[in-house]
C-alpha cells in the first residue's frame, strides 16, 4: 500500500496527529507542522471540522469550543503547502461530506475517524474519490470493521476502482489505560488481509513501538509543542517534539531488528558456519583396506568434511588409505 510516495511495504508511516492542538491559531498550526517534520514525522494530520455539521445545535458549549478551534478551508489549503515545503504528507480527517469534497484536492489518502467508521454516507463519499483509505477501528468490534471493509470494497468493485484500505487498531479513550490498549487486536485485524496500523492514545511511546513489533505499518500519535500549552485536554495525551523524535528513532530501530521475516542464513553467520558446524572424522586410527563401521566415527568441529547425516556414504565402505585419529573421512578415501 502506498500513501503518497511512501510504500508501506518498505517503511512505517509515522503520522503526527496535530488534530486540534493548534486551537484555531494558524501560526501555531504552521509551527506544529515544522516541528513534526523536524522530529521525524512522515505525515501530519489535522481534523477538518465544520461545527454545525458535526454536533447537535443543542450542544451549545461544544459548538462554541469547536468554533474557537476551527480553521477555514483557505487556511487548510495554506497548511497543505507548508507541509509540502517541509516534505511531509498532508492529511486531514473530514467530519462531513462537504469537507470530503474540499480535502480531495489536498490529500493523497483519506483518514476516517473511529467515531465515523459506521457513518456510511460519508464513507461512500470518501470511497468514491478513489483514494486510499485509512480507517480507525475504535468503538467497533471485528464484525463491524469487517462490515465497513466489505462496504468499501464492494463500492470500489462497482465503480471499477482498484485501491487500498488500511485499518488502525484504536481504543477511543483519552488516555487509554495500558490494561485496555489490547495491542494483540492488531493480530486479529491482520486476518482481514489489509494493511494494519495503530492509532495510539496511551501515555508515552512504548505502545506504539510494540505495535510495530506486532506488524503495524502505520503509527499515529498525537503531537503538541508543549503538553502544558493550555487546558485543552489533547495536549496532555500528546507527545512533544523530543518524544516524537525518540519514537521515530525507536521505530526505525525496531524495524531494523524485525528484518523481513524470511528465515535464512544471515551474512553475519556465513563466516562462522565452518567453525560452528561438525564433520565426520575417525574415532581412532584406521588401517588401509579396513571396512568403516559406525563405531569408527566421531563428529567434531570444524565442518571440513562430510556433514552429520551423511554417514551412510562411508559406513560399510573399504578405506583406500590409512587414516589417523580425528582425520576427516572423505568420499575420496573410500572405494
Beta-bridge mates of residue 280: 299
pLDDT of residue 79: 98
Q: Which of 108, 107, 89 is nearest to 99 (CA)?
A: 107
pLDDT of residue 93: 98
pLDDT of residue 136: 98
What is the mean pLDDT for each group of 10 consecutive residues in the chain (335 residues)? 96 97 97 98 98 95 94 98 98 98 98 98 98 98 98 98 98 97 98 98 98 98 96 95 98 96 95 96 98 98 97 97 97 96
Sorted by sequence, the CB contacts under 8 Å of residue 57 that are 6+ apart come out as: 63
Summarize pLDDT for 215-263 with one digit per residue, the tens: 999 999 999 999 999 999 999 999 999 999 999 999 999 999 999 999 9
pLDDT of residue 115: 98
Domains of the chain (ranges, CATH numbers): 2-258 (3.20.20.70), 267-333 (3.90.1210.10)
The residue behind cell 521505530 is: 251
- Residue 254 grid coordinates: 525496531
3-class SS letters over the chain: CEECCEECCCCCEEEEEEECCCCCCHHHHHHHHHHHHHHCCCEEEEEECCHHHCCCCCCHHHHHHHHHHCCCHHHHHHHHHHHHHCCCEEEEEECCHHHHHHHCCCCCCEEECHHHCCCHHHHHHHHCCCCCEEEECCCCCHHHHHHHHHHHHHHHHHHCCCCCEEEEEECCCCCCCHHHCCCCHHHHHHHHCCEEEEEECCCCCHHHHHHHHCCCCEEEEEECCCCCCCCCHHHHHCECHHHHHHHHHHHHHHHHHHCCCCCCCCHHHHCCHHHHCCEEEECCCECCCCECCHHHEEEECCCCCCCCCCHHHCCCCEECCCECCCCECCHHHEC
pLDDT of residue 265: 96
pLDDT of residue 168: 98
pLDDT of residue 244: 98
Amino acid at each position: 500500500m502506498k500513501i503518497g510516495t511512501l510504500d508501506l511495504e518498505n517503511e512505517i508511516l509515522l503520522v503526527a496527529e496535530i488534530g486540534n492542538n493548534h486551537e484555531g491559531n494558524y501560526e501555531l498550526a504552521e509551527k506544529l507542522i515544522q516541528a513534526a517534520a523536524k522530529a521525524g514525522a512522515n505525515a501530519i494530520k489535522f481534523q477538518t471540522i465544520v461545527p454545525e455539521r458535526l454536533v447537535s445545535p443543542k450542544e451549545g458549549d461544544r459548538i462554541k469550543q469547536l468554533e474557537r478551534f476551527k480553521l477555514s478551508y483557505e487556511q487548510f489549503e495554506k497548511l497543505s503547502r507548508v507541509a509540502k515545503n517541509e516534505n511531509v504528507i498532508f492529511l486531514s480527517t473530514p467530519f462531513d461530506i462537504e469537507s470530503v469534497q474540499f480535502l480531495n484536492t489536498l490529500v493523497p489518502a483519506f483518514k476516517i475517524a473511529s467515531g465515523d467508521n459506521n457513518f456510511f454516507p460519508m464513507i461512500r463519499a470518501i470511497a468514491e474519490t478513489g483514494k486510499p483509505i485509512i480507517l480507525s477501528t475504535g468503538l467497533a468490534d471485528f464484525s463491524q470493521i469487517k462490515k465497513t471493509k466489505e462496504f468499501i470494497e464492494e463500492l470500489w468493485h462497482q465503480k471499477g476502482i482498484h485501491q487500498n484500505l488500511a485499518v488502525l487498531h484504536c481504543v477511543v479513550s483519552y488516555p487509554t489505560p495500558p490494561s485496555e490498549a489490547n495491542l494483540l487486536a492488531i493480530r486479529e485485524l491482520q486476518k482481514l488481509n489489509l494493511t494494519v496500523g495503530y492509532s495510539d492514545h496511551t501515555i508515552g511511546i512504548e505502545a506504539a513501538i510494540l505495535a510495530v513489533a506486532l506488524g503495524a505499518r502505520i503509527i499515529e500519535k498525537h503531537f503538541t509543542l508543549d503538553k502544558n500549552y493550555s487546558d485543552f485536554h489533547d495536549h496532555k495525551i500528546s507527545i512533544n517534539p523530543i518524544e516524537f523524535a525518540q519514537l521515530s528513532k525507536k521505530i526505525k530501530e525496531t524495524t531494523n531488528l524485525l528484518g523481513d521475516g524470511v528465515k535464512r542464513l544471515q551474512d553475519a553467520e556465513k563466516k562462522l558456519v565452518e567453525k560452528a558446524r561438525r564433520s565426520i572424522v575417525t574415532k581412532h586410527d584406521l588401517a588401509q583396506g579396513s571396512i568403516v563401521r559406525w563405531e569408527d566415527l566421531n563428529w567434531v568441529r570444524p565442518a571440513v568434511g562430510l556433514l552429520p547425516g551423511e554417514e551412510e556414504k562411508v559406513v560399510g565402505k573399504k578405506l583406500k588409505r590409512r587414516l589417523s585419529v580425528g582425520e576427516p573421512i572423505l568420499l575420496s578415501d573410500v572405494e
